[in-house]
A = this chain, B = another copy of it.
Amino acid sequence: MTTPAQGLHTHVLDTLGLEIAAGDCPPGRVLRTDELARRFDVSRTVVREVIRVLESMHLVESRRRVGVTVRPTEEWNVYDPQVIRWRLAGSDRPRQLRSLTVLRSAVEPVAAGLAARNATAEHCAALTECALGMVATSRGQQLEGYLRHDIAFHRIVLNASGNEMFARLGDVVAEVLAGRTHHQVMFEDPDPAAVTLHVRLAEAVREGDAEGAERLTKEIAVGALHELDVLAP
């Protein structure tokens, strides 16, 4: 493993989190603190701090006399960006991407509608800039550049909605888009229809057309879901 380990705590936490998220430690498995201390060659102090964090994410439960038991998946705090990252790195990434994309399809249309009502001039300017960037990078194997603009675009919409809960999903969407781009075959250029929809969405938001923005975002989401259907198991 030999991670550069910018901090012992971070290293142990990341390793354990990844293992649990990947299912290497199935629910019910018990870990012992001193065992972990020996395994990672750190003090029990560090291990206990890591356990406390994993406990706050509901990934494990620590009980006296019995040890640290891994909790069933249904109890995890799956909205924690850290947990999402760990799970997307694991084996059931396709299933994970699917449930996250369904979440997007529910949230983003409503957020776009609100954005059309609440967006500031700065939001609109940034949005059109991103849309133009997506157009510019939509051809010729510039998927990384396209991804950057795509992430920024959706983040702006979520922020412009004015709703804090939506805004905080920006990181989740970013993980989904990045995971999708990097996971699937990267031969093809992005769907031209999607690019057009983004441009039109930026226009709708600028013009304050809430219903249009919501509808266009729904179309984008449907496209993303369809793409997953075609390319994922």
Spell out A's residues near B (CB within 8 Å): 9, 45, 48-50, 52-53, 55-57, 73-74, 76-82, 99-100, 102-103, 105-107, 109-111, 114, 163-168
Contact = CB atoms under 8 A, between A and B. Distances in A.
Contact of A100 (B48, B57, B102, B165): B165
Contacts of A165: 78-79, 99-100, 102-103
A81 B56 CA distance: 10
B111 A163 contact: no
Number of copies: 2
Contacts of A56: 53, 56-57, 80, 82
Contact of A52 (B53, B109, B164): B53
Given A79-B80, A80-B77, A105-B110, A99 B164 contact: yes
A103 B99 contact: no
Contacts of A80: 56, 77, 79-80
A50 B102 CA distance: 34
> By CB atoms of chain B within 10 A, which of A55, A163, A167, A168 has the most?
A168
30 contacts: A9-B52, A45-B45, A45-B48, A50-B52, A52-B52, A53-B53, A56-B56, A56-B57, A56-B80, A74-B164, A74-B167, A78-B168, A79-B79, A79-B80, A79-B165, A79-B168, A99-B164, A99-B165, A100-B165, A102-B110, A102-B163, A102-B165, A102-B166, A103-B107, A103-B165, A103-B166, A106-B107, A106-B109, A106-B111, A106-B166
Nearest to A109: B106
Contacts of A102: 110, 114, 163, 165-166
A105 to B, nearest CB: 7
